[in-house]
Structure 1
């Protein structure tokens, strides 16, 4: 499946996205991790076996989408709502990795009627842990807004407890895909899978945090089997 670069205006802000597949088929909307972009899903889209409309969004501050004054998981959740409304997507499959996975949890908690399935790659919602040191801004140009990293890492260090409290209210059939060699605690993924009523968890042996890059064939097998 070839993905074509497109743009749309959301509340006067320009957002970039990639789209391919059958325009009349069930949409899959994919959200990337912190510091990445929609292009991180190109090989996943190419490996889908069914007929889908695949749409990967550059979230605010990333790729070719708008740089804004403020960044938060909640703002990205509302960006997603505006985005799917702009594309007239009544119901869709939501696929999120890392930062995009947290946005996906929040969206499924807030707007459950919009989702057919939820697929989260190697992330639980942020939880209290050892503080993450925010590094100094690099001097070389970056493909994303440094303010986004600072803000999102700030939320990782001070997570909202309701993000976990509302996991049991997620009614969407959910799949969590973890990596056995990831720096993300896999016991936290299992905890999430036990809190969401209709949830399955699969761990990809030898994969790190970027499961769909580290072990693409294995990832695609799991994804295609779940979507079938």
Structure 2
């Protein structure tokens, strides 16, 4: 089911509610993404989790915004959960969505029962992260055909698949559901030291790390676990930054097991 949440003073938010029984999970995509990237996870967890995946501001079918800071993204997530009358829920965030999840848990603990952070650490800056911002200024945003758009993007990145998940067809051809300048602002808003957010909540947490990812070094993932009680780490040695794409079955299994551990009375 597609939901559109309209507010007078903030961008409208589009959200896919995959429905079904089970534990509610708010799934927050990363920069350049959209809620639909979690369709496989929702299918794999059908009957165990009800996945709700919004298009965050400036992405997908949601509205563009004047600001793309951590506070704005966290407030959007809180507003959506309040609007739906949900909470506390499991909040899962990939990349920049993981930063949003951490801030939401720290600022609105009443809305977050557990936290899943996919391949992002509480430090996003040099030297801990070699390239925290991908310069996408001037990249192509449309083409007459889908293949043409994919080929144009492939001139800039080895794999354009993640970007093409946000491509749609209209009367003029194919276009991306985001603006490159907005995406620069989103990335720049992620740069910083976010340890206070990570350490600011006490709910159970799961960190998922891709072994080939440049954004979450192994030492930093281990420090996240050491410094925050109640945190588990699962690593996927062959995966890159997009663990949910590179290892979808293992990703779903890790998330599902974590959710089950929170609802099984034998687990406490």
The TM-score with structure 1 as length reference comes to 0.89
- In structure 1, how many angstroms separate the alpha carbons of the residues matched to 2:108 and 2:94? 19
- In structure 1, how many angstroms separate the alpha carbons of the residues matched to 2:23 and 2:255? 15
Aligned-pair Cα RMSD in Å = 1.9
* Offset from partner CA, 1:37-60 (integer Å, 9 cap, x none): 001000000000543321001000
Kept in 1, the 8 Å contact 2:70–2:190? The answer is no
> In structure 2, the residue corresponding to 1:10 is in which secondary structure?
coil
- In structure 2, how many angstroms separate the alpha carbons of the residues matched to 1:65 and 1:20? 17
* Offset from partner CA, 1:108-129 (integer Å, 9 cap, x none): 1111122111101111124331
The TM-score with structure 2 as length reference comes to 0.77
The structure that has the greater radius of gyration is 2
Match of 2:96 in 1: 99
Kept in 1, the 8 Å contact 2:58–2:65? The answer is yes
Match of 2:168 in 1: none
Match of 2:136 in 1: 135
Query: Which residue, out of 64, 79, 82, partners 2:79?
Result: 82
Asked if 1:117 is matched to 2:149, the reply is no
Q: How does 1:77-226 map to 2 (within 5 A)?
A: 77-130=74-127, 132=133, 134-141=135-142, 142-157=176-191, 159=192, 161=193, 163-184=194-215, 185-226=217-258
Instruction: Could you tell me which runs of 5 or more consecutive residues in structure 1 were left unpaired when the two chains were aligned.
Output: none
* Offset from partner CA, 1:194-219 (integer Å, 9 cap, x none): 22221000101201110010011111
Q: How does 1:60-71 map to 2 (within 5 A)?
A: 60-71=57-68
Number of aligned residue pairs: give it.
221
- In structure 2, how many angstroms separate the alpha carbons of the residues matched to 1:133 and 1:101? 18
